Structure 1
Amino acid sequence: MTTSYPSIAIIGIGSVTVTIIHALYQNKIPFRILCQNQNRFQTLYSHPIRFQGPTGQIVTIDLKNHLTMIHDNKESYDYIFVGCKNQNLEDYLKDTKPFLNANGKWILIQNGIPESNFDSYKDKILGGVVGWNTQTLPDGTYFQSNVGSLILGNVTKTKPDPIWYQLLPPHIPVVLTDQLEGYRWHKLAINSIINGLAASKQLSLGELFLNKKFREEALETLTEIKTVMSQKKITEQVVPGSFPIQKLGSGLGSLPTWIRHLILIFLGLKYYRIRTSMVQDLDHGRKTEIDYINGEVIKMANRLGIPVPKNEWIVSTIKKREENKKN
């Protein structure tokens, strides 16, 4: 019996979507890449992608037969992965809306809480919380440094179609959840330090977490977010391979301080050279997504009347760095 797979498209080719493309490609699942830029189309058509997974094996992915310029697309899809920065998300949804099937859904894999900005589309959105880190190496190879899950959840607090268990594993483990908000806030808290705090210092994770003062700042940042989550009555859901914010942040349920420092030291040693996406944005003079990471924390804290000075400092420091890069 032949399995009937949903129709899948991807718009926006970057480190996260390439990791998903690798899993679909290896599993021989049909997919289509919608290109907006003719030069990007030609590059992808002419040059296969090199992808290196956590095992070290390098795979060459020829996308020639998967590419369509978006203005030439005549198909409609059950799912469209949207791979872009939060600040471009509204435009990407508008551009791809004509290509969604009647019951189709966008899959938002951005950091932060992207679903919260598109309430009118809530029945058309799947949230995708990414648990891996993939970077582009100097030679152009996409390098996935850790095994990580894709957590999928409907905004309507129901679990997605179990077909996803057949589409991405074993290359990407899948978790289907009806508790998307709990995973989103857990990942938001982690990103507030590995992206936000690291970018405020413009350091690799090793340089950040092997410094005692910076570890203290990280724990302070997490404590503020833990307080916001508690006030908002969010039940934390821990991304596989990660560590609970409830135990890392100070207060009720926290681990002893020395153990919390030890956990951050371990992360620093394990990912010593990793410069996360926001750090790389500053390295290359690009605008960061800080408004959608620590900025989201500030927005919610202001609504609740909770002070979050460390998160505010991170946001203001990164905005100053962005301005300095511009001038």
Structure 2
Amino acid sequence: MKIAVIGAGAIGALIAGYLKLKGEDVSLVGRPEAVCIINKEGLKISGVRGNFKVDIFAHEVLTYKPELLILATKTQDIESALKDNLSLIKDSIIVTTQNGVQADNIVSRYLPQGNIISSIVMFGSTYFSPGKVVHNFEGSWVLGDIFKKISDSRILSVSLTLDKAFTTIISEDILGMKYLKIFVNANNCIPAILGLSMQEAFSDPEVSRVSIGIWKEGFDLLSQAGIKLVSLPGFPVENITRLISIPSNEAAKAFSGIMTKLSKDPLYGSILQSIKRGRSSEIDYINGEFVSLAERHRLTAPLNNKLVSMVHEVEETKKFFSKEGLFNSVKLLLN
């Protein structure tokens, strides 16, 4: 199977590199700087599986028709990636990997729904520099069909290929899982606002209180909107309901303990990684999804709305908030 991965960032580079190491026919599409370095020096992966230098071809745009296209750009970059390569991917199976719940809808404006496999990555990776990524922690790769248009045999075929790099799971209700993944990612806004690693940010229980507030507000919104969360591998829905049902101070201490032990290497989260690279982040598709959901159902999401605006302020000014500044900005919005 000829495979292409569009997006040479933390997730895309990791996926392409591991598939290549397993002998798959795969190439990588990325930005000019990354393409130049990868073609000259190879793709360098370090982390939980060891250190690897992967010889892989990289291109700025596709040069062939892939049977399988793994779309690993940020959500806000999907349209430009599709437009740049559209003539070569009309018959490809497309696997989306983005956070949030909008990626598949965007892809379906350009390509048949029956060619789209939605996915959720539960493994973690950090973009270090062009052509260099760190694999922070292991996790499965969940596949599913939001539109109920793609055949089971096609999903199974893709699953067997991707399983060479990561353990794959096929879900019958991936949309409910994707909404739960928003909760997992929603805390990424806090390190982005502070300019700190996740371990540094959440070592402070006061900062962790903000995360509990995000979850409480999000869970209330989804309940009122009638959206059912579905447990993820390694992250059951009870992880949310248990913490939001106990006093905030206790929940914050428990959350702090979990987050500071996620990885021995610093974790920055996707939002801060984008900001550090001078790019727009996916905040509008994570915490912003709570805000949009509230608007669609004539509800409110004041905490998430405030945090979205703070991330955009950091993007525009390149100035991070102090922990005190963060807490003072949101303390009246915490339950």
Q: What band does the TM-score fall into relative to the shorter chain? A: 0.7 to 0.9
Matched residues, percent identical?
Answer: 21
Which residue in 2 is equivalent to 1:29?
24
The one-letter amino acid paired with 2:95 is: I
User: Among residues 7, 10, 13, which one is paired with 1:15 in the alignment?
Assistant: 10
Q: Does 1:58 align with 2:51?
A: yes
* 1:313 aligns with one of 303, 306, 316: 306
Partner of 1:269: 261
Aligned to 1:126: 117
CA distance in 2, matches of 1:69, 1:324: 30
1:89 is aligned to: 78
Relative to 1, partners in 2 of residues 1:116 and 1:247: Cα closer, same or farther, differing over 3 Å?
A: same
Contact kept? 1:185, 1:236, Cα under 8 Å: yes
Match of 1:288 among 266, 281, 295: 281
For residue 243 of structure 1, report the CA deviation from its aligned partner.
4.6
Aligned pairs for 1:245-260 (under 5 A) are 246-248=240-242, 250=244, 254=245, 258=250
Q: CA deviation at 1:34?
A: 3.9
Answer yes or no: is the 8 Å Cα contact 2:8–2:34 preserved in 1: no
TM-score where L is the length of structure 2? 0.82
Partner residue of 1:229 out of 222, 232, 236: 222
Q: Sort the Cα spacing of 1:69 and 1:85 in 2 relative to 1 into closer, same or farther, 3 A.
A: closer
Amino acid at match of 2:114: D
TM-fit CA distance, 1:255: 5.6
| Cα shift readout 1:98-128 (whole Å, capped 9, x = no counterpart) | 11253x3222212222223344343332222
Stretches of structure 1 that go unaligned for 5 or more consecutive residues are 1-5
Per-residue CA deviation, residues 172-197 of structure 1 (Å, 9 max, x unaligned), is: 1111122121121111111111x112
Counterpart residue number, 2:332: none
TM-score, length-scaled by structure 1: 0.84
Contact preservation (8 Å) 1:150, 1:173: yes
Number of equivalenced pairs: 310
**RMSD (CA atoms):** 2.6
Task: Provide the rounded CA distance (Å) in 1 between the counterparts of 2:31 and 2:191.
Answer: 32
Matches within 5 A, 1:36-51: 37=32, 40-51=34-45
How far 1:168 moved relative to its partner?
A: 2.8
Whole-Å Cα distance in 1 between the matches of residues 243 and 186 of structure 2? 13
Residues 163-312 of structure 1 mapped to structure 2, 5 A cutoff: 163-169=157-163, 171-193=165-187, 195-244=188-237, 246-248=240-242, 250=244, 254=245, 258=250, 261-271=253-263, 273-312=266-305
Counterpart-to-counterpart distance in 2, 1:10 and 1:163 = 17
Q: Whole-Å Cα distance in 2 between the matches of residues 266 and 67 of structure 1?
A: 37
Distance (whole Å) between structure 2 residues aligned to residue 248 and residue 240 of structure 1: 17
Runs of 5+ in structure 2 lacking a partner?
A: 320-335
Quote the residue 2:96 is aligned against. 108
- 1:143 & 1:303 partners in 2: Cα distance? 38
Which residue in the other structure is 1:147 paired with? 138
Secondary structure, counterpart of 2:139 in structure 1? coil
Cα deviation 1:217-275 (Å, max 9, x = unaligned)? 1011011111222233333223323352542563xxx4675356314422223347322
